[in-house]
Structure formats: structure tokens, C-alpha cells
């Protein structure tokens, strides 16, 4: 039975508001945190991003699935979203790379979704009330009273205080070889890494050893070429509350003490913030999409960037703080709401950004950040040097 023939479904928010529609994907029930993504393209990369673990994604673009589902655009080995909400799913996908429909792939991977929902009204509700728990119910569950389903939603765990990186991280280390001559070796802590990220480093002559989120300091310090120390350390994107990632924060502090060049993105930016002594907090409804404007305060350059984060570093644009590792500054800020989008250490070789420079599924404005990491490892850029590549 195709997803279009599966019957009715209902979406129930924890505050009691309900939306009825049609089953899309697998039939059953799912619960998670309701978030919305503003990207008009790149839905396959969104679905397979481990940072969306335990989240029900609402697509604000009204028409989804028109390019189908292919075997090339995966950012991991599976779909990670807890549920999927669309307004108008494509009836017939049309793209030369398409292998199957989006609805069929959701069903095959057991992802419960709903279509025919007024996603504009739902998005406005989440913007006004904030991200909250939600459930999607289809099959026999769709006929149950809304209040009964609301109680099911209320039993789901909240995102605040959850440590989820270990649930999406690799179990064993693996290596992504450099393309061409190896120039550097990097230890990448997998907190929910997207496959394009080590590929972008490999394209720059970096051999990347991807380590589990539970890796010890000794594992990091022996992950370089011939069992030696790596030339740099990278912390990836990932799901969960950064305040709960005590092991990863302690590991990063040891890296900073040893002055090993460090680069972090998304979750890695939040962990650098906490390692430096900044606080983190839950955003009202987060940033998710591929169209978020960010300013690099050192160059005044504005980039359109890809985001997926519900937590943020607590700081102010241009703020400089004294830390146990020297001075650190807020280096990037979101132009929509002034949320911190990057940190830079001025006396230690470390920096991070809140967005995704690997550019899957775009945009490409921030790809130069991997070159900045190369410069840091090569010693051709000092930590406090204004960026010449703007």
C-alpha cells in the first residue's frame, strides 16, 4: 500500500492543538520535538542529518518530494528524523537521479509522517509558542480522542538535559583518506557528523580519523599519522543539549590546553563555548534551513548559511572574554535575531561556527572555513589574525 492510500492521520502538540491530515510514510505513531525547516530544497540531506534525532520536522515549503529519493545525497546511513510533516507531497517524483518516491522511502525506513497539514499555521504556532513535543498518529491511533493522544505526547522526553550524541555516533573509528597528497591528519569527534564534512576536509589534503563521541584523550592524541598526535581536532554537529555533554567538554578542554588547532561546527560550536566558560540556552524555536544570514564580525562579510540548531551560546556580538585558555570573542552573529553564530580564540588556535560550511545541500558561502582550518594547522594564520579570505 502506498503512503497516499494509508488513510487519515492526526498531529497533536503538547499544548493540545491538533492538525488532521493524511498518513505519509509509515503507519503508526511517533513522538518527538516539533521543529520547522525553512529550506525549499535539500530535504534528503535534512532527513539523513543525525542532528534531527528525536525531532519531528515540519517543512515550511508547501511542495515536498518532487525530486524523489536517490542514493547519492545521503548524509548518513539512514533517516534520523522522528517524524515528517508536509503540506503537499509530490504525487510523481521527477528527477534523473530519483530511484523511488520520498513517501515510499519514509515507509521503508519506518518513519511516520503526515501530509495535507496547514504547515503555515503550524509554523506560526511554533514561532509564537516555541518548539514543543508533538506526536503523529495514523492507523487505529488516528481515531483515538485528541486528549488521550496528548497524554501520550506529554510522556515523551524533553530535549533539554538530553545527551544524544552517543546514540548517533559511530561505534568504531574509521578513516577518510586525503584526496591526493596527505598534508594533515585530523581527529574528528563524531557527535552526529554528516558524510560531506570529512569529504570537504579530504579534498584539502586532510586525512580524517572519525572517532566515537566517547573517545578518550589518549585515542585522540594517537589518531594522527603513524599513531602520533593529529595536526588538528574537529568537533561535528549533533543532537542534544550541550550542557549534558560533560565528557566531550572535558575532552575539548584538554585539546585547548595542548594548543592543538581546533575547529567545531554547530554542536561543536556550543561545546567550545561551554569549554571556554560561556553558557548555552534553548532557543525558542531554533534555526533550521539553508537560508540564514550570518555576519562575520571580523570582516563584516554576510554569508547565507545552512543551520540546524535548537540551542545557542549565550553571548553578545563582538564580546571578548578572558578564559582559562586566553581571550575568546564572539566572532559571528545571526542577522535575523542576533544569536551567536561563531566563536574565535585570540590566544589559542581554535574557532567554531554554529552553521554548516560543508554545504550539503548548500549554500556554499562558508566553504572557505575549511581553508581557514588548514591555515591554522599550517601555522600561516595566527589565532587573532583578521581573515584575509573575505
User: Which residues carry a binding-site annotation?
Assistant: 51, 238, 240, 270, 308, 310-311
Helix (H, G, I), strand (E, B) or coil at 121: helix
Distances (CA, A) of 202 to 180, 183, 208, 252, 294: 9, 10, 7, 22, 26
358 flagged as catalytic? yes
Residue 314, strand partner residues = 279
Residues 390 and 366: their CA atoms lie apart, in Å, by: 10
- Picking from 28, 65, 30, the residue whose alpha carbon sits closest to that of residue 46 is 65
Residues 118 and 309: their CA atoms lie apart, in Å, by: 24
356 flagged as catalytic? yes
Binding site as annotated, residues for L-glutamine: 51, 238, 240, 270, 308, 310-311
Task: Give 143-158 as a DSSP string.
Answer: GS-HHHHHHHHHTSPP
Catalytic residue from among 266, 287, 309, 341 = 266
- Picking from 39, 48, 40, the residue whose alpha carbon sits closest to that of residue 70 is 48
Q: Are 235 and 187 in contact (CB under 8 A)?
A: no
Q: Which distant-in-sequence residues (6+ apart) come within 8 Å of 128 by Cβ? A: none
Residues 330 and 347: their CA atoms lie apart, in Å, by: 14
128 flagged as catalytic? no
The number of angstroms, rounded, from the C-alpha of 116 to the middle of its chain's C-alpha atoms is: 26
Q: Are 173 and 46 in contact (CB under 8 A)?
A: no
Residues involved in catalysis: 266, 356, 358
Amino acid at each position: 500500500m502506498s503512503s497516499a492510500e494509508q488513510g487519515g492521520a492526526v498531529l497533536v502538540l503538547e499544548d493540545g492543538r491538533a492538525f488532521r491530515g493524511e498518513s505519509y510514510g509509515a503507519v503508526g505513531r511517533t513522538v518527538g520535538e516539533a521543529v520547522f525547516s525553512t529550506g525549499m530544497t535539500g530535504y534528503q540531506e535534512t532527513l539523513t542529518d543525525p542532528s534531527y534525532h528525536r525531532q519531528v520536522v515540519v517543512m515550511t515549503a508547501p511542495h515536498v518530494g518532487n525530486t524523489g529519493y536517490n542514493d547519492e545525497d545521503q548524509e548518513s546511513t539512514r533517516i534520523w528524523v522522528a517524524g515528517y510533516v508536509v503540506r503537499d507531497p509530490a504525487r510523481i517524483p521527477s528527477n534523473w537521479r530519483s530511484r523511488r518516491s520520498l513517501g515510499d522511502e519514509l515507509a521503508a525506513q519506518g518513519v511516520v509522517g503526515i501530509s495535507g497539514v496547514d504547515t503555515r499555521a503550524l509554523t506560526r504556532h511554533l514561532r509564537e509558542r516555541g518548539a514543543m513535543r508533538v506526536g503523529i498518529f495514523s492507523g487505529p491511533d488516528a481515531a483515538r480522542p485528541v486528549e488521550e493522544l496528548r497524554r501520550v505526547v506529554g510522556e515523551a522526553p524533553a530535549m533539554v538535559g538530553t545527551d544524544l550524541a552517543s546514540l548517533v555516533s559511530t561505534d568504531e573509528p574509521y578513516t577518510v583518506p586525503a584526496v591526493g597528497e596527505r598534508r594533515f591528519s585530523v581527529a574528528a569527534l563524531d557527535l552526529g557528523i554528516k558524510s560531506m564534512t570529512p569529504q570537504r576536509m579530504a579534498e584539502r589534503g586532510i586525512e580524517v580519523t572519525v572517532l566515537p563521541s566517547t573517545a578518550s584523550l589518549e585515542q585522540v592524541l594517537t589518531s594522527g599519522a603513524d599513531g602520533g598526535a593529529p595536526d588538528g581536532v574537529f568537533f561535528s554537529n549533533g543532537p542534544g543539549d550541550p550542557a549534558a555533554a560533560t565528557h566531550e567538554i572535558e575532552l575539548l578542554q584538554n585539546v585547548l590546553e595542548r594548543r592543538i588547532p581546533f575547529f567545531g561546527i554547530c554542536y561543536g560550536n556550543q561545546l567550545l563555548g561551554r569549554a571556554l566558560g560561556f553558557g548555552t540556552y534553548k532557543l525558542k524555536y531554533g534555526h533550521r534551513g539553508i537560508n540564514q544570514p550570518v555576519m562575520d564580525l571580523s570582516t563584516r562579510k554576510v554569508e547565507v548559511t545552512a543551520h540546524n540548531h535548537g540551542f545557542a551560546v549565550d553571548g553578545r556580538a563582538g564580546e571578548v572574554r578572558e578564559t582559562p585558555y586566553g581571550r575568546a570573542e564572539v566572532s559571528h552573529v545571526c542577522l535575523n535575531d542576533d544569536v551567536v553564530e561563531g566563536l574565535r580564540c585570540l590566544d589559542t588556535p581554535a574557532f567554531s561556527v554554529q552553521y554548516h560550511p560543508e554545504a550539503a545541500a548548500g549554500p556554499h558561502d562558508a566553504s572557505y572555513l575549511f581553508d581557514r582550518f588548514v591555515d591554522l594547522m599550517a601555522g600561516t594564520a595566527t589565532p587573532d589574525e583578521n581573515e584575509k579570505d573575505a
